[in-house]
Structure 1
Amino acid sequence: MIWVDADACPVKAEIERVATRLGHPASFVSNGGLRPSANPLIQMVYVAEGPDVADMHIADRAGHGDVVVTNDIPLAAKCVAAGARVLRPDGEALTPANIGNVLATRDLMADLRSADPFRQGGGRAFSKADRSRFLDVLDRTVRAAMREANG
């Protein structure tokens, strides 16, 4: 299964395209506002409103053989720990080798932002190159997860 933290995901169309091409199901999890897909491989899961409800839904279900797409670092850490393959929408893979550093950087940046109310957040804008890289990495990652799941 491809699990998608879908509320703010900028690559939903790319995920649906890969799922369709590979015949692999995907579950888009959100707390509403997403248009349902007519694609039989795409499942829309609507969870209750509230902080981290969609994240908890994904974290409770993702594991070996699954791919998770999220920008939420704490969710990514839980999914990596459960054995899932995790990708950010820009194509960056979050793995047991790098998730600790990514989580620590996230926490440091949160501390810096809270210490300086004038600090404006914001990394670089999401680009066409990010979208293209994500599409390539997702295709390879789903294929590897399918091989893992089929033994």
Structure 2
Amino acid sequence: MIYVDADACPVKAEAERVATRHGLRMFVVSNGGIRPQPNPLVETVIVPDGPDVADMWIADRATKGDVVITGDIPLAARCIEAGARVVKHNGEVLNARNIGGILASRDLMADLRAADPFRQGGGRPFSKADRARFLDTLEREVRAAATDV
């Protein structure tokens, strides 16, 4: 299965293409504002409003053999711990080898932002290269997840 943390996810259509090609069920999880897809393999899950409710829904279900698409680092860590594979929207793979450093960096940046309210955040814009990298990576991770089971 593929789980998509759908709030602010720029690659839902690409994930659906890969899921359809492999005949996988895909759950698009958000707290609203997502249009249901007619694809019978894609299920739109609307969770109640609240902090991290969508993340908890995904983390409670993702397991070995599944692929999770998210940019949320704590969610990624929980899914990796459960044995799922995790891909960020830009095609970066998160796994047991790199998640510790990424969590630490995230926490450090949060502390720096809290200490300096004028610090401007934000990364670079999402590009066509990111979209292409995502598609390639998701395809590889879906194939690898099939052998995990």
Q: TM-score range by the shorter chain?
A: over 0.9
Q: SS of the counterpart of 1:143? A: helix
Which residue in the other structure is 1:68 paired with?
Answer: 68
1:85 and 2:85 correspond: yes
Structure 2 Cα separation of the partners of residues 113 and 84 of structure 1: 31
Which residue number corresponds to residue 29 of structure 1? Answer: 29
Give the partner amino acid of 1:90.
N
CA distance in 1, matches of 2:117, 2:46: 34
Q: Give the superposition deviation at 1:147.
A: 2.5
CA distance in 1, matches of 2:146, 2:3: 14
More deviation in 88-97 or 139-148?
A: 139-148
Report runs of 4+ in structure 1 exceeding 3 Å deviation. Answer: none
- Residue deviations 1:103-128 (CA, integer Å, cap 9, x gap): 00000000111111110101111110
AA paired with 1:120? Q
Give per-residue Cα distances to partners, 1:13-32, cap 9 Å, x unaligned: 00001011111111001111
Whole-Å Cα distance in 2 between the matches of residues 148 and 108 of structure 1? 33
Partner of 1:100: 100
- CA RMSD in angstroms, aligned pairs only: 0.7
Q: Given residue 83 of structure 2, which amino acid in structure 1 is its aligned partner?
A: G
2:119 counterpart letter in structure 1: R
Find out whether 1:10 has 2:15 as its counterpart: no
Question: Which position in structure 2 is the counterpart of 1:146?
Answer: 146
Q: 5 Å matches for 1:128-139?
A: 128-139=128-139
Unmatched tracts of structure 1, length 5 or more = none
Partner Cα separation in structure 2 for residue 62 and residue 8 of structure 1: 20
Residue identity (%) = 69
For residue 137 of structure 1, report the CA deviation from its aligned partner. 0.4
* Amino acid in structure 1 at the alignment position of 2:37: S
Structure 2: distance between partners of 1:80 and 1:2? 14
Provide the TM-score with structure 1 as the length reference: 0.97
Deviation at 1:35, TM superposition (A): 0.4
